[in-house]
Amino acid sequence: MSGTTDPREGTTSARTPRGRNSIDTRLIDGKDYARRLTEEVRQEVAALKERAGVTPGLAVVLVGNNPASEVYVRSKIAHTEGVGMRSVAHVLPGSTTEDELLALLATLNADPSVHGILVQLPLPRGIDAARITGAIAPEKDVDGLGEVNVGRTTLGLPGGLVPCTPLGCLLLLRAELGSLAGLHAVVVGKSNLVGRPMAQLLLQEDCTVTVCHVATPDVGAFASQADILVVATGQKGLVRRDWIKPGATVIDVGITRVATGDGKTRLMGDVVFEEAMGRAGRLTPVPGGVGPMTIACLLRNTLTTARRQIEGADAAA
C-alpha cells in the first residue's frame, strides 16, 4: 500500500519486571498495529471510491456449519464493511458438492463487482481444498493460496498476493526489528497456510531460515538457536522456556480454545506464555498478537486486488 505509516510510532507494550537472569520482554501489540493498518485501508478505500466511483467488493464463501468458521466469517464480513468495502456472504449447506462450489466460483470470478474471493477453510469431506483454491481467479485470490500466487510468493516475484497470516507476521517483525537481514529464523510448522509461505517471506528478507515439523528430531534444539522464532502448529503449550534463545523475537501463531474448569474457556497459543515472559526479547500474546493482523491483512489484500482491477496492474499495493 502506498503511504504506509511506521507502525512503531505510538505502540504500547507490556514488559516483565527485571529480575536476576530475567529479560525485559516486550509484548507486541498486534491489536494496535492492526488498528492503524485498518485505518490506512479505510482511508484508501474512501480515496478509491472518490477517484473511480467503485466500491471494492469481497465475496466470502462458507460451506457447512462449522461453528468456528461461522465466527471467523462473521468477523471478516464485519471488518470488511467497517472500512467501507462491500461484503457478500455465500453460505452453502454441508451437502454442497465440489462441482456446485466450482460453479459458484466461476460466477464470482466473472462478476466485475467482486474484487476479492475468500473460501473459508476447512471444507467438508469430499471437497478438494486445493482444487477449490486453485479455481479462484489469481487476481481475486485474497487468501493467496492459489497456485499462481503461491508460485509468485515462492519465487519472490512482484504482483503476488501473500497469505494473510504470514504477511501479518512479517509486518510485525519489520516494525519491531527493522531489517531482518542476517538473522536466523526458525519456523516450526510447514502448513501451506502459514509455515511454508512464512519461510519464503523470511528468505526474501535475507534471513537464514530453518523449517521444523512433526518429523524433525529435537525441534527444541533448532528453536533455541533462533533470533526469530515463528511457531504455527496448533499444539498448545508446545514451546517451553528452554526452546527460546534469550532475547529472541517469538511470534506465536497457534491458537487453541481450552476449558478452564469453571465452565468457561480461554485461548492458548503454541508457546507457554508465562515461561516465554522474561526469556524472549519480544513476544506476541494470544490472543491479541497475530490474530488481529490476519484480519487487517485480509483487508489490505482486498484493497490491493480492487485497485489493480479498477486502476490497472500497476496500481500500488
CATH code at 127?
3.40.50.10860
Q: What is the pLDDT of residues 73-107, one digit of tens each?
A: 999 999 999 999 999 999 999 999 999 999 999 99
Q: What is the pLDDT of residues 168-179, one digit of tens each?
A: 999 999 999 999
Kindly tell me if the per-residue pLDDT of 7 is higher than 70. Answer: no
Q: Is residue 181 part of a domain?
A: yes
Does residue 120 have an active-site annotation?
A: yes
Residues 215-220 have a mean pLDDT of 97
Do 97 and 169 have their domain in common?
no
Do 117 and 208 have their domain in common?
no
How many percent of the chain have pLDDT more than 70?
92
Residue 230: give its domain's CATH number.
3.40.50.720
Do 77 and 120 have their domain in common?
yes
Residues 163-189 have a mean pLDDT of 98
Do 198 and 279 have their domain in common?
yes
pLDDT-derived band at 249, boundaries 50, 70, 90:
very high
Q: Is residue 4 part of a domain?
A: no
- Cα-based angle 39, 56, 200 (whole degrees, multiple of 5): 70
Q: Is residue 90 part of a domain?
A: yes
Query: What is the pLDDT, as a whole number, of residue 5?
Result: 38
How many percent of the chain have pLDDT more than 90?
86
Query: What is the pLDDT, as a whole number, of residue 225?
Result: 98
Q: Is residue 314 part of a domain?
A: no
Do 278 and 186 have their domain in common?
yes
Given the residues 29, 76, 141, 190, the one annotated as active site? 76
Do 174 and 255 have their domain in common?
yes
- 86 has which bridge partners? 57
Q: What is the mean pLDDT of the chain?
A: 92
pLDDT-derived band at 1, boundaries 50, 70, 90:
very low
Could you give the number of structural domains in the chain? 2
Residues 61-83 have a mean pLDDT of 94
What is the extent of the structural domain holding 90?
Answer: 53-138
Kindly tell me if the per-residue pLDDT of 293 is higher than 60. Answer: yes
Does residue 29 have an active-site annotation?
A: no
Does residue 49 have an active-site annotation?
A: no
Q: What is the pLDDT of residues 31-49, one digit of tens each?
A: 999 999 999 999 999 999 9
Q: Is residue 275 part of a domain?
A: yes
Query: What is the pLDDT, as a whole number, of residue 21?
Result: 62
Query: What is the pLDDT, as a whole number, of residue 106?
Result: 98
Say which amino acid occupies 87: S
Query: What is the pLDDT, as a whole number, of residue 2?
Result: 38
Q: Is residue 248 part of a domain?
A: yes
For residues 162-192, b (16+ Cβ closer than 10 Å) or e, as one string?
A: bbbbbbbbbbbbebbbeebeebbbbbbbbbe
Do 110 and 205 have their domain in common?
no
Do 175 and 287 have their domain in common?
yes
Q: Is residue 31 part of a domain?
A: no
Q: Is residue 263 part of a domain?
A: yes
Given the residues 120, 141, 245, 270, the one annotated as active site? 120
Residues 246-256 have a mean pLDDT of 97
Do 100 and 184 have their domain in common?
no
Given the residues 29, 141, 143, 227, the one annotated as active site? 143
